[in-house]
Structure 1
Amino acid sequence: MSVSPALPGPLAASALVAVGGATGAVLRYQAGRAVTAAVGPAAAGVFPWATLAVNVAGSLAMGLLAGWLARHGSGGEAWRLLLGVGLLGGFTTFSAFSLEMILMIERGAVGAAAIYAFFSVLAGAAALFAGLLVMRVAG
């Protein structure tokens, strides 16, 4: 079985995701600090401005990356892993959610995209609430 030279092997792919993910996580932290400093701690305590800013910026970056990769075709797997899965995954998973939902809509699966969006938000919030409840009862 031959492997295309454009596709990194499993170890190299994992390294690309790890480097990108670590960088994205640091960028997420620093962006949160910058937004909190810009709006002030009091405003940041009332509304999650930093999370909103990161989610929107990450979604814009994911759109730009996906568009660039689609336009330039082959040879982009390493960039997809480093920047899309790693960097933007570490920066915000909301960007991956946004990309997946829009791709579903573009494929004509509008109903499935709506269900995906609804249950991603609802199930995510419910799971977080369940985790908090379990830990509060256990503690």
Structure 2
Amino acid sequence: MQYLWVAVGGAFGAVARVAVSEWASLRWGAHFPYGTLVVNLVGSFLLGFILTLVAERAMLPAEARLLAASGFLGAFTTFSTFSWETARLITNGSHWHGGLYVTTSILGGLVAVLLGILVARAI
């Protein structure tokens, strides 16, 4: 049954990822990988928030963790696309944008996880 929770969450996460990526490209343009950056930062915040609620508050059942963290967020966020987009920026000569993307993704992701933890602890 646990695999079903992950699969259902993953289906919704994959669709949400495409929707957010398309929205970000329309909103800010396709010259920078805003879509992947947004999904990874939002996903980092939500992962910190959800796992803190599970671990420290016992506010969510194990099934909700599987559905949301492993399923939805596992499909919503993406490291492989981040790596590919970074490589494309660098190989196309946009070294500055590649460095900015890596720095913003890693530091922003860490800050987002910490904010998620703090918000969950404040509940």
For the criterion TM > 0.5, the same-fold answer is yes
Q: Do 2:43 and 2:73's aligned partners in 1 also have CA atoms closer than 8 Å? A: yes
- What fraction of aligned residue pairs are identical, expressed as a percent? 39
Question: Could you say which structure has the larger radius of gyration?
Answer: 1
Q: What is the alpha-carbon distance in structure 2 between the residues aligned to residue 52 and residue 24 of structure 1?
A: 15
Structure 2: runs of 5 or more not aligned: 88-123
Structure 1: runs of 5 or more not aligned: 1-11, 95-120, 129-139
Superposed CA RMSD in Å reads: 2.5
Q: 1:37 aligns with which of 14, 18, 26?
A: 26
Q: What is the 5 A alignment of 1:20-99?
A: 20-40=9-29, 44=30, 46-73=31-58, 76-94=61-79
Question: Once the two structures are superposed, what CA deviation does each residue of 1:14-42 show, in whole Å capped at 9, x if it has no partner?
Answer: 110000000000000000011011113xx
Question: Residue 109 of structure 1 aligns with which residue?
Answer: none
Letter in 2 for 1:54: V
How many pairs align? 84
Distance change >3 Å, CA 35–CA 70, structure 1 → 2: same
Q: What is the alpha-carbon distance in structure 1 between the residues aligned to residue 39 and residue 59 of structure 2?
A: 29
Structure 1 stretches (4+) deviating beyond 4 angstroms?
A: none
Q: What is the alpha-carbon distance in structure 1 between the residues aligned to residue 12 and residue 59 of structure 2?
A: 25
Q: What is the alpha-carbon distance in structure 2 between the residues aligned to residue 48 and residue 75 of structure 1?
A: 33
Shift of 1:70: 1.6
Alignment TM-score, normalising by the size of structure 2: 0.60
**Secondary structure of 1:47's aligned partner:** coil
Q: What is the alpha-carbon distance in structure 2 between the residues aligned to residue 88 and residue 74 of structure 1?
A: 18
Question: Once the two structures are superposed, what CA deviation does each residue of 1:80-129 show, in whole Å capped at 9, x if it has no partner?
Answer: 110000000010145xxxxxxxxxxxxxxxxxxxxxxxxxx9xx77xx9x
Alignment TM-score, normalising by the size of structure 1: 0.54
Distance change >3 Å, CA 93–CA 85, structure 1 → 2: farther
